[in-house]
Structure 1
Amino acid sequence: MDWQEISGSWVWLPQQPIGIIHFLGGAFVASAPQLTYRWLLTEIGKAGYAIVATPFVNTFDHLTIARSVLNRFETIVAQLQSKKLLPQGYLPIYGVGHSMGCKLHLLIGSLFSIDRAGNILISYNNFPARRAIPLVEQLDVNQTLNFEFTPSPQETNELVLNNYLVRRNLLIRFNNDDIDQSLNLNPLLQQRFAQLICLLILPGNHLTPLGQEITWQTGEFFTPLDAFGQWFKQGLSQDSYRLKQEILRWLNPVISSR
């Protein structure tokens, strides 16, 4: 099985799916998730989950983006079911987001009627536009102009606190990530569903979910350069493997513990 494009989204289908993942990536890497997040999503797919990765282009109107990616996801699932590529019966649906993708899943869960078994929110980011987009801060513009995302960070927090309906959530923060805001999100979700919120702090940084497997071929003789190459590969891959394992453990603790 390999990635295939269906109605503008990228899909990975196992033979007998045990669940569906709706994946939304970060603001500047979300346009090609089948490439930028290829290793992580493929590994989750190999564990039995159908992956629907919905690309999007970032604008100031995050509400419109959230509505669009949800509509596209639901359309694709219906198409796959009609073609018998997904079973007609119930399959749990999980939202998985990275950075801005987390905000979109939070908006979807707060504003639309959906059925989600849970959300995995990795490196949540909800900064205002003037911090999230450096160019905006450098522009010599009238400060009264509204250069802000819709909804704003504060409006997003209020929506989550008052309306968020997805009960089970895994928040993942990396210990070397200066733009992660999971620690601000956690208490909001705790007020909604205190017993069903898990916060994990893992080794890595904001780009860890984009890690790709590196193949290092040694020559006829093992050299110091080969030793460095294998050490570098192990260090780079270790954080990505840990992230994958924790995601799969949360999705299905019974299978992952075997």
Structure 2
Amino acid sequence: MSPDRPPPSNRWKQQGSLWCLSPPGPAGELAGTVEFIGGTLLATSPQISYRRLLEALAARGLAIRAWSYVPGFDHQSQATEAWRAFRRGRQASPAEQPLLRLGHSLGCKLHLLAPDGGRGCSGLVAMCFNNFSADRSIPLLADLAPRLGVRTEFSPSPQETLRLVGLHYRQPRNLLLRFGNDALDQSRRLIGVLQQRPDDASTLVERPGDHLTPASAGLRQNLLGPWADDPARQRQIDRLADQLLDWWGHVPNLNKFPGTG
């Protein structure tokens, strides 16, 4: 752990389905707000599963709101549920501030399907975008469904998801992060759809790592103290946080919060 890094935060507060974290400095120094949705199997406790990354962003002056949910098959319904939860969070803190949407894996898809079409934010960072079919995402399902005489698929399906994004997603500023050793990532398909839209300003960037690189809880550090931490892992997360903030800081009209969410 870096000597100037604060100890693991105990400032997480639960507000309904949101886990919220304020930056350590004075409220007047708030640089913006992150609305985060995690991926399958990690999203029920984002304040733990993604602790390192979210706390690194908070240490850089951002307020964090992370949605807790149990993934299901109706992704459109869950996208709407998440958007409503974040909207309630914004209404509870009505001061205008730049808003960044951040997603990992399935969380990217849910942000892309938000009812406002991305209008209510200054940009989206989509890490490890995953849009596989249900039987690819849940291997046991492919084996069981035919035996049970049922056909189960996510709604919308992978093909329909990309079609809806092309038709209804209106946020031009998107950073797609793909990690080199990630067989689940489908960012290249997504960037192809996004860049077909008029005035698109989306970017695809590749970093070292794998599908779980953004998810780091620092469990050894929590249980045993700072001496047991992996400094390389923390440096990797810090570089990721810096890259997100560097990109967001160059977004045009960052300080003009749309407020239409």
Give the TM-score taking structure 2 as reference length. 0.82
Aligned match for 2:111, one of 94, 98, 105: 105
Shift of residue 45, structure 1, vs aligned partner: 1.2
Residue by residue, what CA displacement relative to the aligned partner does 1:119-172 show, whole Å, maximum 9, x if unpaired? Answer: 000000000000001120221525863300000000001001111111100000
**Partners of 2:117 and 2:171 within 8 A in 1:** no
Matched, 1:119 2:124: yes
Higher relative contact order (CA 8 A, sep 6+): 2
Q: 1:61/1:235 Cα in 2 relative to 1: closer, same or farther (>3 Å)?
A: same
SS of the aligned residue for 1:126 comes to: coil
SS of the aligned residue for 1:167 comes to: coil
Equivalent pairs counted in the alignment come to 235
Partner AA of 2:69 in structure 1? F
Matched, 1:131 2:128: no
Partner AA of 1:192 in structure 2? R
**Partners of 1:203 and 1:239 within 8 A in 2:** no
Q: 1:247/1:113 Cα in 2 relative to 1: closer, same or farther (>3 Å)?
A: closer
Shift of residue 47, structure 1, vs aligned partner: 1.1
**Partners of 1:212 and 1:237 within 8 A in 2:** no
2:192 equivalent in structure 1:
187
Aligned match for 1:20, one of 33, 36, 45: 33
Question: How well do the aligned residues superpose, as a CA RMSD in angstroms?
Answer: 2.5
1:243 equivalent in structure 2:
240
How many Å separate the matches in 1 of 2:191 and 2:110?
16
Partner AA of 1:12 in structure 2? L
**Partners of 2:111 and 2:118 within 8 A in 1:** no
Aligned match for 2:75, one of 48, 62, 65: 62
Shift of residue 8, structure 1, vs aligned partner: 2.5
SS of the aligned residue for 1:108 comes to: coil
Q: 1:140/1:128 Cα in 2 relative to 1: closer, same or farther (>3 Å)?
A: closer
Higher deviation after alignment, 240-249 or 65-74: 240-249
SS of the aligned residue for 2:65 comes to: strand
How many Å separate the matches in 2 of 1:129 and 1:147?
7
SS of the aligned residue for 2:180 comes to: strand
Q: 1:193/1:37 Cα in 2 relative to 1: closer, same or farther (>3 Å)?
A: farther
Larger Rg: 1
> Which has a greater percent of helix?
1
TM alignment of 1:139-158, pairs within 5 A: 139=144, 141=146, 145-158=150-163
Residue by residue, what CA displacement relative to the aligned partner does 1:49-73 show, whole Å, maximum 9, x if unpaired? Answer: 1111011111110011011111111
Shift of residue 20, structure 1, vs aligned partner: 1.4
2:51 equivalent in structure 1:
38
2:214 equivalent in structure 1:
209
Q: Where do 5+ consecutive residues of structure 2 fail to align? A: 1-8, 252-261
1:226 equivalent in structure 2:
none
Partner AA of 2:76 in structure 1? L
**Partners of 2:172 and 2:200 within 8 A in 1:** no
Give the TM-score taking structure 1 as reference length. 0.83
1:225 equivalent in structure 2:
none
